[in-house]
């Protein structure tokens, strides 16, 4: 019986537990023995690798996070520890590995594959949605819905007072979460690294809108800019609006996985296992233009991600100060 393992690396996302459930059930359906690697790459090094059974995944579909836990491993950057990790897998007869993670996790896996030759398939799993080669990463839909609910609730408060709210989303240096959330929530301002805008350029437009009756503002900013407090200060000093900063933080990672993330988890894992059985030994399963496709680990891990130009154009049109309604 072939042996296959799964691990989660880096930040957790809602959708990992549905993926883990599908992994166990589909592995057995394909005649393989599934294994869990607990604590990500740290678990590979520490030999925290155990057989998985149906009972291990009962009732986990609705839970955010990951049952098998995740970690960021400094040790895995060291070739000595990667050799230990490879030996632990080989000693258990595990020849295939599925990795749920982001760009850092895939860079580690790229090195690991070239050194050990262990077959693997990566599943993009990060709410940052910043993996090269895929339009969608597991967990993004749940995160966007959490942000949507937060902004809708904050708008209720903003509209009850004469206030400006500055809402900071996650995403590191990628503005995907902020941009999509701002567009779909009707925010007045969106500031992301990919669309450099100076908040001061909005002054004339916003003053005109205030004279015509606007009495609150919603600004969505990406954490990569590190300027949420400065934006709030600008609203107070330049427009005279009492301001509040809401940093959503790790709320965006957790929560009951959305229907879409549950479905994508099943599809990602199914394609990943099928690929390993078909002899694809070092790929990442990507989703673009409504289709699944495989890309080499080198192509995914060693190239930068760029936000979709169509989405960026929507943002430029919606939030450029020159397009602001006076």
Active-site annotation, residues: 128
Alpha carbon distances (Å) from 205 to 72, 166, 173, 319: 45, 18, 28, 12
Q: Whole-angstrom Cα distance, residue 290 to residue 287?
A: 7
- Name 36's bridge partners: 6, 50
Alpha carbon distances (Å) from 152 to 45, 146, 181, 187, 219: 44, 10, 11, 10, 13
The set of residues, in sequence order, having a beta carbon less than 8 Å from that of 295 and lying 6+ positions away, is: 133, 283, 284, 286
**Residue 198, both tokens:** 């100076």
Q: Whole-angstrom Cα distance, residue 206 to residue 215?
A: 10
E-strand spans in 178-230? 189-191, 217-222
**For tokens 């990992």, what's the residue?**
16
* Number of Cβ atoms within 10 Å of the Cβ of 230: 13
Alpha carbon distances (Å) from 122 to 14, 101, 185, 290: 17, 7, 32, 18
**Residue 17, both tokens:** 């537990």
Cα angle 52, 56, 59 (rounded to 5 degrees) comes to 150
- In the sheet with 217-222, reading across from the earlier edge strand, the strands are 189-191, 217-222, 163-169, 242-247
Q: Whole-angstrom Cα distance, residue 305 to residue 221?
A: 19
Pairing mode, if any, of strands 291-296 and 282-288? antiparallel
């Amino acid at each position: 019986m072939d042996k296959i393992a799964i691990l989660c690396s880096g930040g957790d996302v809602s959708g990992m537990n549905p993926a883990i459930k599908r992994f166990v059930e589909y592995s057995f359906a394909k005649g393989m023995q599934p294994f869990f690697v607990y604590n990500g790459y740290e678990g590979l090094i520490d030999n925290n690798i155990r057989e998985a059974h149906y009972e291990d995944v009962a009732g986990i579909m609705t839970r955010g996070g990951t049952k098998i836990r995740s970690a960021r491993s400094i040790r895995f950057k060291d070739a000595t520890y990667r050799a230990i990790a490879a030996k632990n897998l080989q000693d258990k007869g595990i020849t295939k590995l599925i990795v749920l993670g982001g760009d850092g996790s895939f860079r580690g896996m790229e090195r690991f594959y070239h050194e050990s030759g262990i077959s693997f398939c990566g599943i993009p799993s990060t709410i940052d949605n910043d993996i090269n080669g895929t339009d969608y990463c597991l967990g993004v839909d749940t995160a966007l819905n959490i942000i949507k609910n937060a902004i809708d609730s904050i708008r209720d408060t903003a509209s009850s007072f004469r206030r400006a709210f500055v809402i900071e989303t996650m995403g590191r240096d990628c503005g995907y979460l902020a941009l999509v959330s701002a567009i779909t929530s009707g925010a007045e301002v969106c500031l992301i690294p990919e669309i450099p805008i100076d908040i001061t350029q909005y002054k004339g437009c916003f003053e005109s809108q205030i004279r015509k009756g606007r009495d609150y503002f919603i600004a969505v900013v990406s954490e990569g800019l590190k300027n949420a407090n400065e934006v709030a200060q600008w609203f107070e000093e330049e427009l005279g609006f009492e301001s509040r900063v809401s940093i959503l933080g790790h709320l965006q990672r957790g929560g009951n996985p959305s229907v879409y993330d549950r479905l994508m988890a099943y599809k990602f894992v199914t394609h990943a296992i099928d690929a390993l059985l078909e002899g694809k030994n070092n790929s990442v399963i990507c989703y673009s233009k409504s289709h699944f496709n495989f890309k080499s680990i080198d192509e995914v891990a060693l190239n930068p991600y760029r936000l979709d130009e169509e989405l960026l154009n929507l943002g430029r049109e919606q939030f450029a100060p020159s397009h602001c309604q006076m």
